[in-house]
């Protein structure tokens, strides 16, 4: 309908396929696109900052988790080493059957305090501790 009015007013040379309306100049169209781009860039910058902040927080949490995991692995490796040492120390005690060695190793390995006591004792004290465990005194 607007084109009909323009034709009647002598504006027949306007192309109907123009990307802007006859009431809107190409200059106004460019300004609107710049505003849209500007808002789009602003939004992109805000999103980028948010992503950077989130990545920083996630990275920090991953670092904390890695430290905890490393400590847990270290503790487990230490416990495993102690078990092996308990076994080798108990096997030094004469006249113990394989079953007795297994019982004592399992008992000492399950109780961290008992393991600490075991390793703080002399060889003679260790032997006495093992015999006390086998007799049910400890």
CB crowding 40-75: b at 16 or more within 10 Å, else e: eeeeeeeeeeeeeeeeeeeeeeeeeeeeeeeeeeee
Burial class for 110, CB neighbours closer than 10 Å (0-12, 13-18, 19+): exposed
Confidence at residue 129, expressed as pLDDT on a 0 to 100 scale: 95
At residue 135, the pLDDT reads 94
Mean pLDDT of 103-115: 92
- Mean pLDDT, range 59-71, rounded to an integer: 79
* Residue 13: per-residue pLDDT: 47
Of 133 and 65, which is predicted with more confidence?
Answer: 133
What is the rounded average pLDDT of the residues 67-75? 74
């Amino acid at each position: 309908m607007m084109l009909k009015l323009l034709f009647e007013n002598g504006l027949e040379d306007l192309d109907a396929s123009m990307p802007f309306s006859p009431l809107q100049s190409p200059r106004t169209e460019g300004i609107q696109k710049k505003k849209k781009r500007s808002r789009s860039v602003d939004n992109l910058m805000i999103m980028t900052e948010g992503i950077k902040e989130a990545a920083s927080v996630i990275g920090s949490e991953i670092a904390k988790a890695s430290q905890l995991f490393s400590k847990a692995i270290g503790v487990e490796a230490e416990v495993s080493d102690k078990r092996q040492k308990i076994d080798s120390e108990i096997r030094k005690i004469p006249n113990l059957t394989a079953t007795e060695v297994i019982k004592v190793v399992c008992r000492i390995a399950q109780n961290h305090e008992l393991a600490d006591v075991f390793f703080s004792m002399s060889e003679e004290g260790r032997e006495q501790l093992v015999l006390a465990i086998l007799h049910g005194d400890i």
